[in-house]
Amino acid sequence: MKGLAIGWVLEAQGKIVGYLGNVALLYRYTERTLTAVSGTGFVVDPEYRAMSLSLDSAFYRQKEIDLRLATTAIESVAKLAVAFGSTQLPQPDFDVVLFWVLQPYPFAQAVAKKLELAPSLSAVGTVLASIVVQSDKVLRRRWPSQCNNGLEIEEISVSDIGEEFQEFWEGKVRERPRLLADRSAATLRWHFDVPGYRGTVQVLCCRRNRKLVGYVVIRNDVDRPDALRASTIGDLLAKDDDEEIVRALFLASFEIARRAKSHILEVMGFPGDIRRVLSGSRPYMRRLPAYPFYYRTSDPALQQALSEPAAWYACAYDGDRTLMP
């Protein structure tokens, strides 16, 4: 998409005091290809916060854009998005993260650190908390059950995403009228080959009778601020949202996360039918401090259509969430 800005800066007294990035994206809705932009990296020095409106104004003034997104909004950014006419994503529970604890002791350590416990309390509390989490995992069976459904799972690299993904994507678009971020083979390769990312990205293909019927992409992060090593499901698509395919892909993702020695496996977003399958493995849940996803379209008819939850398939793949290192 030529001619679009990559972002804007706010200057004062000869120095940069604010920034808002602009990521160009494509979306599909029925037969339409939509030009979209997502804001990213919004930051302004505290003494110049009153001038942050000028950055948001530049973002929303862009011409010939069908869809504007804010997908990692904190509370202050969300208020600005609403002020500029954006609407909260109608997909239920997008702000509720599902997670599975893979290593109870490191998980308990990170919780103790976040609570800023005194060293003496932290050591004892970490041990007790890890025992409680481990016991709860066993009693409630907080892990996916084994599948025996004739589906084949194969791991490939991002660079190996090719023609069969393109064919699968074109079929997925035709399944029902729903807004989908572009997942053509070339776009998937670009999206998950993030410069500067220090973790690993793994792609799992699901095949039935040698034909691709679904895939999942897992990011294994190593440098989160909360000291947790997390594996995150960055994207998952299954033919017709088939429960058996989703279940097989999640089981394989769980094993990948354990092999990566991650402390937790996280899932954000996805429609209700996908979340119901994942919730069968009894995840823990945490609600984000602010609802993170807002959108605005240039077409009133499209805006009305997108007010229905069934019109969305939003997950961590949307916007800028999995584009950052």
- Euclidean distance between CA atoms 193 and 38, whole angstroms: 18
pLDDT computed for residue 306 by the predictor: 97
> Contact 244/151 with Cβ under 8 angstroms?
yes
Say which residues have a Cβ less than 8 Å from residue 13's Cβ, sequence separation at least 6. Answer: none
Closest among 161, 202, 181, 196 to 316, alpha carbons compared: 181
Map residue 309 onto helix, strand or coil: helix
Q: Count Cβ atoms within 10 A of the Cβ of residue 207 and give its class: 0-12 exposed, 13-18 middle, 19 or more buried.
A: middle
What distance in Å separates the CA atoms of residue 234 and residue 252, rounded to the nearest whole number?
14
- What is the full per-residue pLDDT of the chain (325 aa) written as tens digits? 667 899 999 999 889 999 999 999 999 999 999 999 999 999 999 998 888 889 999 999 999 999 999 998 889 889 999 999 999 999 989 999 999 999 887 787 777 676 655 555 555 556 666 766 676 666 666 657 776 678 999 999 999 999 999 999 999 999 999 999 999 999 999 999 988 888 999 999 999 999 999 999 999 988 666 678 899 999 999 999 999 999 999 999 999 999 999 999 999 999 999 999 999 999 999 999 999 999 999 999 999 999 999 999 999 999 999 988 7
Strands 230-238 and 211-220 come out as antiparallel
pLDDT of residue 121: 54
The answer to whether 1-91+289-325 and 96-102+144-287 have equal CATH topology is yes
User: Is-contact 269 94, C-beta < 8 A?
Assistant: yes
Is residue 257 within 8 Å of 273, Cβ to Cβ?
no
Please count the other Cβ atoms lying within 10 Å of the Cβ belonging to residue 299: 14
Report the alpha-carbon distance of residue 85 to residue 15 in Å, rounded.
Answer: 31
Enter the tokens of residue 15. 């120095």
Taking the alpha carbons at both ends of the chain, their separation in whole angstroms is 23
Pairing of strands 67-70, 32-44: parallel
- Superfamily of domain covering 1-91+289-325: Gcn5-related N-acetyltransferase (GNAT) (3.40.630.30)
Rounded (10°) CA dihedral 175, 275, 235, 315 = 90
Both tokens of residue 121? 């309390």
DSSP line for 126-179 = HHHHHHHHHHHHHHHT-SPPP--SS-EEEEE-GGG--HHHHHHHHHHHTSSS-B
Polymer length in residues for the chain: 325
CATH 3.40.50.10300 fits 96-102+144-287, yes or no: no
CB 41 within 8 A of CB 10: no
In degrees, to the nearest 5, what angle opens at C-alpha 101 toward C-alphas 97 and 105? Answer: 135
DSSP class of residue 269 equals B
Classify 224 as helix, strand or coil.
coil
> For the chain, what are the domain ranges?
1-91+289-325, 96-102+144-287, 104-138
Give the pLDDT confidence score for residue 141 in this predicted structure.
67
DSSP 6-23: SEEEEEETTEEEEEEEEE
